[in-house]
Amino acid sequence: MDLYEHQARALFQEYGIVVPRAEVTDSPKEAREIARRLGGRVVVKAQVKTGGRGKAGGVRLAADPADAELTARRILGMDIKGHTVGTVMVAEPVGIEREFYVSYVLDRAAGRFLAIASAEGGTEIEEVAAVRPEAVARVPIDPAEGVTSSKAGEIAEAAGLPPQTVDVLVRLWEVLVREDAVLVEVNPLVRTEQGHILALDGKVTLDDNARFRQARWGAQDAEHDDPLEAEAAAKGLNYVRLDGEVGIIGNGAGLVMSTLDVVAGCGARPANFLDIGGGASAQIMADGLSVILSDPSVKSVFVNVFGGITACDAVADGIVQALDAVQLTKPLVVRLDGNNAPRGRALLEERAHPYVQQISTMDGAARRAAELAAAD
């Protein structure tokens, strides 16, 4: 689970990392009051769980309390990359001398954490890494050692950060370990004109597998960052949204994972992961289809089923019934194989839906779904 900026900064504060004074509100009138309390001039910041708020106009300076109210009114309700702004943070402005980037991320491939740091903070780190890779330091962390002062010194030196940042690097690591985070990112970490080091932004992603021992976030259990994932979760579906154009439905997590790979191998991008599991009832199929079809990026859907304990005819029957319940607006490619496949294929054949076509192999069906997505 991702935290909002104001939640991340609350954690930072607990661990002794300095952040600007700020308050959160959903009301423009209250934004004015907060600005008054903070001394008049403030920064108004959209609270959404996505980056690039600055570029999108979600971070704005306000000259005085009246301006803070107007600015809050403009930012509240804004859409930033599909996230509607429901609250703003009103913060004391900081005179920035230099902006840095620091983060700890889980490097899944290496099975350890990685410190990423740069003296060129403020802009998105991916951009810095693309243009000037040498400006981004990547230092692996030994999990047994963690980030000691000497390790933090090594990170700071590799990135060209001033020695003053060493203390913050150690504290950020404590946040990561003690709060069970898989990502802690500060962009920008700044040196102010007065020479203080402050965290001006914060992103923290918690490890969902550790939620049971991080009780304070319990109330947010049902919260999903993506509206389609929230809808799918409410329907009890095992769905993860991705950013491609081929919708995927399969039975069994392993099969769905390899379906994603095969579709990617055909030069298309999967739009989601959806494992309908063993049951594959008409209801689950209809729910799955309706979630996938409400994703505007989806151009075609690939249903990949291997009949095991649940026979293909039962799955085909589910698809046929789902076709009556859901208005199919995109081409659907179905591959049925395994237990009772001929019977299942015949059932779908009989239904003769103009948007549905069957291909008997996984590779062939993936290729067809990719072609259909590209042709749209």
Residue 93 interface partner, choices ligand GDP, Mn ion, none, CB cut-off 5-8 Å depending on type? ligand GDP
Q: Which residue is nearest to ligand GDP (CB)?
A: 54
Our CB check for ligand GDP shows the closer of 11 and 200 to be 200
Q: Identify the residue among 201, 245, 287, 317 touching Mn ion (CB under 5 A).
A: 201
Residue in 358, 287, 271 with CA at minimum distance from that of residue 322: 287
Residue 120 touches ligand GDP, criterion: CB under 6 A:
no
Residue 25 touches Mn ion, criterion: CB under 5 A:
no
Residue 120 touches Mn ion, criterion: CB under 5 A:
no
State in angstroms the smallest separation of the CB of 61 from ligand GDP.
7
State in angstroms the smallest separation of the CB of 59 from ligand GDP.
4
Please provide the DSSP assignment of 50-89 as one string.
Answer: SS-TTTTT-EEEESSHHHHHHHHHHHTT-EETTEE---EE
State yes or no: 201 annotated in a binding site. Answer: yes
Residue 122 touches ligand GDP, criterion: CB under 6 A:
yes
Q: What are phi and psi of 77, to 5 degrees?
A: 90, -10
Q: List Cβ<8 Å contacts ≥24 apart for 115-123.
A: 115/139, 115/140, 115/141, 115/147, 115/155, 115/169, 117/155, 117/156, 117/158, 117/159, 117/161, 117/169, 118/159, 118/160, 119/159, 119/160, 119/161, 121/187, 121/188, 121/189, 121/190, 122/187, 122/188
Residue 187 touches Mn ion, criterion: CB under 5 A:
yes
Q: Is 185 known to be catalytic?
A: yes
Beta-sheet pairing, 300-307 with 332-338: parallel
Q: Identify the residue among 1, 96, 293, 326 touching ligand GDP (CB under 6 A).
A: 96
**Cα(239)–Cα(228) distance, integer angstroms:** 9
**Which one of the spans 67-75, 142-150, 186-194, 278-286 is the region binding Mn ion (CB under 5 A)?**
186-194
For ligand GDP (CB under 6 A), the number of binding residues is 18
Alpha carbon dihedral 291, 4, 43, 160, in 10-degree steps, equals -110
Residues 26/223, Cβ–Cβ less than 8 Å:
no
Q: Is 101 known to be catalytic?
A: yes
Our CB check for ligand GDP shows the closer of 74 and 299 to be 74
The site string for ligand GDP over 225-254 (x = CB under 6 A, - otherwise) reads ------------------------------
Given the rule CB under 6 A, which residues bind ligand GDP? 20, 43, 45, 51-54, 59, 91, 93-94, 96, 99, 122, 187-188, 200-201
The residues of the shown chain that bind Mn ion, judged by CB under 5 A, are 187, 201
* Catalytic positions: 101, 185
